[in-house]
C-alpha cells in the first residue's frame, strides 16, 4: 500500500517554490494566502518538515525541498498535459489558430512539432488571414504582431511578448546618409501597410526615405523581394531571423522594440474551452525563443 503525502498540497508547494512567495502562489492558483500556507504546512508536517526556509521577505527551498521539487515538477507537468488531451477528446473540435500567411509560414508552423510533442492528440489547424477576412466564429485564437499598423482588435488580448521592427535588405543594397536622413532607391511594403513605415520612423527616430514605394500583395513577398536585392522592407525580427543568420538579409538599423507587441487574441468561441490556457502558455514560451 502506498503512503503518499497530501497530493492536493503539491500544486501549492510547487507554485510557492517556483515563485518564492506564498502570496504569489495564491494569486496564481486563485486561492487565499491562508489556504496555501495551510497546505504547505500539512505537506511539510507529513514529510517531517524542513521544506522551506526564510530568505529576506520570501521563502527558499531547503535541500529536502529541492529534492521534492525535482520529482513534483515533471509529475505536475505530465498530469497537466494529459488532462488537456483528455478534455480535448471530450471537446472534439480541433484548435484553430488564425495568423497571417507570413507569420504562419515563417514562424508558427515551424514550431508546431514541439506543440505536438508536448500535447499529442490535440489537433491544430492554421487558417491564414489577410485581405480576405476569416470569420471570428471559425477561429479560436488569432495571432497578431503587426502593431505598427494601428490598434489591435478589442477581443480578449494576451501579450505573448515584445515585437521588434526594423528595415531589412540584401547585403550591399544602396543606402546613403544625407545630414540627418537616410535615402534608398526603393522601399517595399504590403498593400495597406504604408503607415507602418511612418510609425517605425516615429518610434525609432530614424528617417529613411526613398524615391519609390513598391506594394506587394503579401508581406512575405515584400521580404522575398528585399532578399533578392529589389528594395528595403520593414520586418518584425522573428520573421527574418533565419534570413539574417544565413546572410540573405541584413538589418542596417537594427530592430526597435514595441512592448507587448506580439499578441494572441482569444475569440469568443474559444472562451471556456479547456485547452486554451495550455496553448497560450506554449505560445508565450515560444515567443521568447
CA-nearest of 271, 281, 274 to 90 is 274
Q: What is the pLDDT of residues 160-218, one digit of tens each?
A: 999 999 999 999 999 999 888 999 999 999 888 888 899 999 999 999 999 999 999 88
Q: Which of 112, 97, 253 is nearest to 169 (CA)?
A: 253
pLDDT at 119: 85
Assigned CATH topology for domain 7-90: Arc Repressor Mutant, subunit A (1.10.10)
Q: What is the pLDDT of residues 83-125, one digit of tens each?
A: 766 665 555 677 889 898 899 999 999 999 999 888 887 888 8
Cβ pair 8, 76 in contact under 8 A: no
pLDDT of 143 > 50? The answer is yes
Who wins on pLDDT, 96 or 244? 244
- What residues pair up with 210 in beta bridges, in sequence order? 184
- Fold agreement (7-90, 95-161+261-287): no
Q: Which three cell numbers stand for residue 62?
A: 531547503
Sign of the torsion angle spanned by Cα atoms 134, 218, 241, 125: positive
Taking only the tens place, the pLDDT of each residue in 22-68 is 888 888 888 898 999 999 999 999 999 889 888 877 788 999 999 99
Residue 230 pLDDT level (bands cut at 50, 70, 90)? very high
**pLDDT attached to residue 77:** 83
CA distance 39 to 107: 42
pTM given for the model:
0.65
Domain boundaries, the chain: 7-90, 95-161+261-287, 164-257
149 has pLDDT over 50:
no
Topology (CATH) of 164-257: D-Maltodextrin-Binding Protein; domain 2 (3.40.190)
Question: Is 80 exceeded by the pLDDT of residue 15?
Answer: yes
Closest listed residue to residue 171, CA positions, set 117, 252, 77 = 252
Mean predicted confidence (pLDDT) in 235-240: 94
CATH of region 95-161+261-287: 3.40.190.10
Amino acid at each position: 500500500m502506498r503512503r503518499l503525502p497530501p497530493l492536493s498540497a503539491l500544486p501549492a508547494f510547487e507554485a510557492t517554490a517556483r515563485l518564492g512567495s506564498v502570496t504569489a502562489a495564491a494569486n496564481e492558483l486563485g486561492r487565499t494566502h491562508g489556504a496555501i500556507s495551510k497546505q504547505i504546512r500539512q505537506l511539510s508536517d507529513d514529510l517531517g518538515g524542513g521544506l522551506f526556509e526564510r530568505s529576506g521577505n520570501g521563502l527558499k527551498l531547503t535541500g529536502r525541498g529541492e529534492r521534492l521539487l525535482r520529482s513534483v515538477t515533471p509529475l505536475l507537468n505530465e498530469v497537466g498535459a494529459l488532462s488537456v488531451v483528455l478534455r480535448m477528446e471530450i471537446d472534439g473540435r480541433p484548435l484553430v489558430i488564425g495568423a497571417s500567411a507570413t507569420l504562419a509560414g515563417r514562424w508558427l508552423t515551424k514550431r508546431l512539432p514541439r506543440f505536438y510533442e508536448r500535447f499529442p492528440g490535440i489537433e491544430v489547424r492554421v487558417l491564414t488571414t489577410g485581405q480576405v477576412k476569416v470569420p471570428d466564429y471559425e477561429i479560436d485564437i488569432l495571432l497578431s504582431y503587426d502593431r505598427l499598423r494601428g490598434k489591435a482588435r478589442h477581443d480578449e488580448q494576451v501579450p505573448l511578448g515584445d515585437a521588434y521592427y526594423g528595415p531589412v535588405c540584401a547585403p550591399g543594397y544602396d543606402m546613403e546618409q544625407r545630414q540627418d536622413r537616410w535615402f534608398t532607391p526603393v522601399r517595399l511594403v504590403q498593400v495597406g501597410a504604408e503607415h507602418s513605415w511612418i510609425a517605425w520612423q516615429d518610434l525609432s527616430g530614424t528617417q529613411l526615405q526613398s524615391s519609390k514605394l513598391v506594394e506587394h500583395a503579401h508581406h512575405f513577398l515584400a521580404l522575398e523581394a528585399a532578399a533578392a536585392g529589389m528594395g528595403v522592407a520593414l520586418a518584425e525580427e522573428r520573421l527574418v531571423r533565419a534570413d539574417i543568420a544565413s546572410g540573405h538579409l541584413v538589418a542596417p538599423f537594427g530592430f526597435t522594440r514595441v512592448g507587448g507587441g506580439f499578441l494572441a487574441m482569444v475569440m469568443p468561441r474559444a472562451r471556456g474551452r479547456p485547452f486554451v490556457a495550455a496553448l497560450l502558455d506554449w505560445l508565450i514560451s515560444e515567443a521568447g525563443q
